């Protein structure tokens, strides 16, 4: 009997034999093949497209399509299983007995061509999409890469990479940063951000090693290209209404070869400052971007122009109130220039780290430093409070050329003699500098003065404590050269001083006042006694001690005189004025009773009356009167009587009060 089983030459497990197909009409054969291809090819093509989609979106740095990750892995593995199962069934049919060798080879080739691409792409899916996405090192600031002009500060961040690691259950412990690619750690942090300063143009390989919670390590790197180099700006984040320092010192081989630098700080085409120094200072009033230009002219007649755009930020206050104190107050002077710096704060200060801007650093709450070279230096203090808070503050120091004024003289009181002046407490100092040189700007420093009225050009100050003081004149010409001249002031204690202290210094009569003359001092003499005259007892003087009390019974202005006697028979006098005010006149009447049977006897009192009444008048409402302070009156007949009290003081001021008495 002939073999009627299907002949296997395709991928299907039950394909009719060639003989069977010979009896099928051609159009039916065509439709059967189309249906067969659709039933097998469309799902297979959809599976291939699905795998291709997974490979195109994974691994993913952003975390998008993350919910498709595990379904993608399982679907790929399931597809591999299905394709292998189909291959085994088809292979069994191809290799069965009775199939010609040529048909076997042809069927095997078609089988491999069909399943191998699907198996290969499905096998790649689990391996590729489950891989860790590439980690990246982001530049957070500046976002505009055109701002990468040296010197520049660049802030790097790892947050996007940390998000990738977190999705894989990994947390970062610490970061080791290398900013120049030399393999040496430049900074270690526990936060995923750091700021590096690149002083020169060039290409810098920046890398960071991330230590993870499971003990493993990741290394991420990127290259930062800085194509251009111009003048430096400090601080790194300049604030509005704060001094900003610019410097071209790095752009020239020898700063002494600078003939002049022309600065335009606001890109308005107008030169704002011209100097032969490499540094300049300018303060901006508003925030925002501003273009700064500098034209550098050298002694060899060469000239270079530089420009850069900087961002002015809102000023950042320190984390706690703190400020820098300096001696001298005006931090400008010729080289070498010495200064003393300290910090003042309401917080308890643990330590202060100082950076003087000239390469020198030190620690201490009060430090001194000498600036040997000319330039503009930003002195910064990193202040550590006892509670762990840290504040960063800064101050600008200008070291310039020396200014000589040969014909400098002073118009002063007391007179300045050979750089010194002298006086006795209190010393009222007035000094005006005089010179024939034009356009000289003068300022004064007067530390230790009790009060200062003026320090611009003319100095007006008062010194009330004995001692030696240094008054400094600061003169500056249009070329930014500076003169600092010190004048020594000697304030001597008073040769004789009769001191009267009053407590209180005034009041309302009657007023008890305590007088104190214990601070009276007579130079070279011994005090033997005091005599007081208080001014309210005409011609009466009393021999009393240094501490006395006196009652001023009446209002008025009194001149209190004190005479101090010495053992040598000398007398020194002092005088103070005290004002005793009159109490406000206010009549007040109080009866012993306000009603009763007639005849009704009532006693009246005016002790509650304030002020100093000189005239007293009682009107009892029954036609009788009295001038006594506290009268007694009998109301003979029944009735209601308005009793009126009128008081008048020495100034003619009157005050009245009425009370009602009822006799039944």
- Both 257 and 337 in one domain: the answer is no
What is the bridge-based pairing of β-strands 390-400 and 375-385?
antiparallel
- Both 488 and 414 in one domain: the answer is yes
Read off the pLDDT band of 9 (50, 70, 90): very low
- Both 101 and 125 in one domain: the answer is yes
Domain endpoint, select from 337, 370, 400? 400
pLDDT for 469 equals 94
pLDDT for 39 equals 73
CA–CA gap between residue 272 and residue 262 (Å, rounded): 8
Domain endpoint, select from 210, 228, 246? 228
When divided into structural domains, the chain yields a total of: 7
Does residue 460 lie within any of the structural domains? yes
- Both 419 and 485 in one domain: the answer is yes
Which 3 state secondary structure label does DSSP give 270?
Answer: coil
pLDDT for 28 equals 65
Does residue 45 lie within any of the structural domains? yes
- Both 483 and 503 in one domain: the answer is no
Q: To the nearest whole percent, how much of the chain has pLDDT over 70?
A: 94
- Both 53 and 87 in one domain: the answer is yes
Read off the pLDDT band of 24 (50, 70, 90): low
What pLDDT, in 10s, does the model give residues 453-510? 888 899 999 998 889 999 999 999 887 889 999 999 999 887 777 889 999 988 888 8
What pLDDT, in 10s, does the model give residues 549-574? 998 888 888 999 999 998 888 888 88
Read off the pLDDT band of 41 (50, 70, 90): confident
Does residue 4 lie within any of the structural domains? no
What pLDDT, in 10s, does the model give residues 617-661? 999 999 899 999 899 999 888 999 999 999 998 778 888 999 999
Does residue 438 lie within any of the structural domains? yes
pLDDT for 582 equals 77
Any idea which of 139-148, 427-436, 529-538 has the lowest mean pLDDT?
139-148
- Both 451 and 501 in one domain: the answer is no
What value does the mean pLDDT take over residues 52-80?
85
Packing angle of the helix pair 101-129, 26-57 (nearest 10 deg): 30
Any idea which of 7-11, 414-418, 528-532 has the lowest mean pLDDT?
7-11
pLDDT at residue 7 greater than cutoff 60: no
pLDDT for 349 equals 92
Read off the pLDDT band of 8 (50, 70, 90): very low
CA–CA gap between residue 580 and residue 602 (Å, rounded): 37
What pLDDT, in 10s, does the model give residues 355-375? 998 889 999 999 999 999 888
The mean pLDDT value of the chain amounts to 86
- Both 393 and 417 in one domain: the answer is no
- Both 41 and 113 in one domain: the answer is yes
Q: What CATH number corresponds to the domain at position 235?
A: 2.60.40.10
Highest mean pLDDT out of 238-247, 363-372, 536-545? 363-372
Any idea which of 60-74, 154-168, 200-214, 505-519 has the lowest mean pLDDT?
60-74
pLDDT for 15 equals 45
Angle at 662 between CA 660 and CA 664, to 5 degrees: 175
What pLDDT, in 10s, does the model give residues 280-311? 889 898 999 999 999 999 998 899 999 988 99
DSSP class per residue in 274-286: EESSSEEEEE-SS
Domain endpoint, select from 260, 283, 312? 312
pLDDT for 179 equals 92
The DSSP output letter for 141 is E
Does residue 144 lie within any of the structural domains? yes
Bridge partner list, 566? 527
- Both 458 and 516 in one domain: the answer is no
Dihedral angle at the C-alpha atoms of 40, 42, 47, 52, nearest 10 degrees?
140
pLDDT at residue 37 greater than cutoff 80: no
pLDDT for 22 equals 53
Does residue 199 lie within any of the structural domains? yes
pLDDT at residue 30 greater than cutoff 90: no
- Both 521 and 545 in one domain: the answer is yes
CA–CA gap between residue 108 and residue 96 (Å, rounded): 12
- Both 157 and 219 in one domain: the answer is yes
Which 3 state secondary structure label does DSSP give 343?
Answer: strand
> Looking at per-residue confidence, does 3 or 373 come out higher?
373
pLDDT for 366 equals 93
- Residues 455 and 391: beta-carbon distance below 8 Å: no
> Range of 164's domain?
138-228
pLDDT at residue 425 greater than cutoff 90: no
Q: To the nearest whole percent, how much of the chain has pLDDT over 90?
A: 36
What value does the mean pLDDT take over residues 206-225?
92
DSSP class per residue in 503-542: ESSEEESSEEEEEE-TT-EETT--EEEEEEE-SSSTT--E
Reported as type and span, the H/E element at residue 514 is: strand 511-516
Does residue 190 lie within any of the structural domains? yes
Does residue 8 lie within any of the structural domains? no
Tell me if the bond preceding 271 is cis, omega within 30° of 0.
no
- Residues 110 and 40: beta-carbon distance below 8 Å: no
């Amino acid at each position: 009997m002939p073999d009627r089983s299907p002949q296997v030459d395709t991928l299907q497990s039950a394909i009719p034999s060639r003989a069977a197909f010979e009896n099928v009409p051609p159009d039916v054969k065509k439709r059967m093949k189309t249906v067969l291809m659709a039933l097998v090819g469309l799902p297979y093509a959809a599976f291939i497209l699905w795998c291709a989609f997974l490979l195109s979106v994974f691994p993913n740095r952003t975390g998008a399509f993350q919910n498709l990750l595990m379904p993608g892995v399982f679907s790929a593995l399931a597809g591999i299983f299905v394709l292998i199962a189909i291959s085994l069934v088809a292979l069994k049919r191809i290799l069965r007995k009775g199939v010609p060798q040529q048909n076997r080879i042809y069927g095997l080739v078609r089988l491999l061509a069909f399943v191998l691409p699907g198996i290969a792409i499905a096998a790649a899916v689990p391996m590729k999409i489950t891989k860790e996405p590439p980690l990246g090192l982001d530049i957070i600031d500046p976002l505009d890469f055109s701002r990468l002009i040296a010197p520049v500060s660049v802030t790097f961040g790892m947050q996007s990479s940390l998000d990738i690691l977190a999705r894989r259950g990994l947390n970062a412990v610490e970061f080791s940063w290398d900013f120049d690619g030399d393999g040496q750690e430049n900074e270690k942090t526990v936060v995923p951000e750091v700021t590096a300063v690149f002083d020169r143009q060039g290409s810098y390989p920046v890398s960071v090693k991330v230590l993870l919670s499971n003990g493993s390590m990741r290394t991420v790197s990127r290259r930062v290209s800085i194509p251009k180099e111009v003048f430096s700006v400090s601080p790194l984040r300049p604030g509005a209404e704060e001094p900003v320092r610019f410097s071209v010192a790095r752009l020239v081989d020898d700063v002494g070869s600078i003939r002049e630098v022309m600065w335009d700080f606001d890109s308005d085409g107008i030169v704002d400052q011209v100097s032969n120094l490499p540094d300049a200072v300018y303060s901006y009033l508003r925030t925002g971007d501003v273009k700064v230009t500098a034209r550098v002219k050298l002694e060899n007649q060469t000239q270079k122009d530089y420009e850069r755009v900087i961002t002015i930020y809102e000023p950042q206050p320190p984390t706690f109130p703190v400020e820098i104190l300096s001696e001298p107050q005006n931090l400008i002077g010729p080289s070498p220039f010495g200064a003393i710096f300290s910090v003042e704060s309401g917080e308890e200060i643990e330590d202060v780290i100082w950076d003087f801007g000239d390469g020198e650093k030190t620690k201490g709450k009060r430090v001194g430093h000498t600036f040997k070279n000319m330039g503009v230096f930003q002195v910064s203090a990193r202040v550590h409070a006892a509670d762990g808070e840290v504040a960063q503050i800064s101050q600008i120091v200008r070291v310039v050329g020396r200014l000589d004024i040969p014909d400098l003289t002073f118009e002063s009181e007391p007179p300045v003699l050979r750089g010194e002046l002298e006086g006795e407490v209190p010393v009222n100092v007035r000094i005006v500098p005089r010179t024939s040189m034009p356009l000289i700007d003068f300022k004064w420093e007067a530390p230790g003065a009790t009060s200062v009225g003026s320090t611009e050009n003319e100095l007006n100050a008062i010194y009330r404590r004995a001692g030696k003081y240094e008054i400094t004149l600061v003169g500056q010409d249009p070329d930014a050269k500076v003169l600092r001249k010190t004048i020594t002031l000697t304030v001597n204690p008073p040769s004789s001083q009769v001191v009267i202290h009053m407590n209180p210094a005034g009041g309302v009569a009657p007023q008890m006042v305590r007088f104190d003359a214990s601070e009276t001092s007579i130079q070279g003499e011994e005090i033997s006694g005091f005599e007081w005259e208080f001014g309210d007892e005409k011609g009466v003087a009393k021999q009393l001690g240094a501490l006395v009390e006196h009652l001023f019974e009446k209002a008025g202005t009194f001149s209190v005189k004190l005479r101090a006697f010495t053992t040598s028979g000398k007398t020194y006098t002092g005088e103070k004025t005290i004002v005793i005010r009159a109490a406000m006149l206010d009549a007040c009447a109080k009866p012993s009773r306000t009603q009763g049977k007639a005849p009704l006897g009532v006693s009246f009192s005016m002790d509650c009356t304030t002020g100093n009444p000189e005239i007293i008048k009682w009107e009892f409402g029954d036609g009788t009167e009295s001038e006594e302070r506290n009268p007694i009156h009998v109301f003979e007949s029944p009735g209601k009587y308005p009793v009126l009290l009128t008081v008048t003081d020495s100034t003619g001021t009157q005050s009245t009060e009425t009370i009602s008495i009822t006799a039944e």
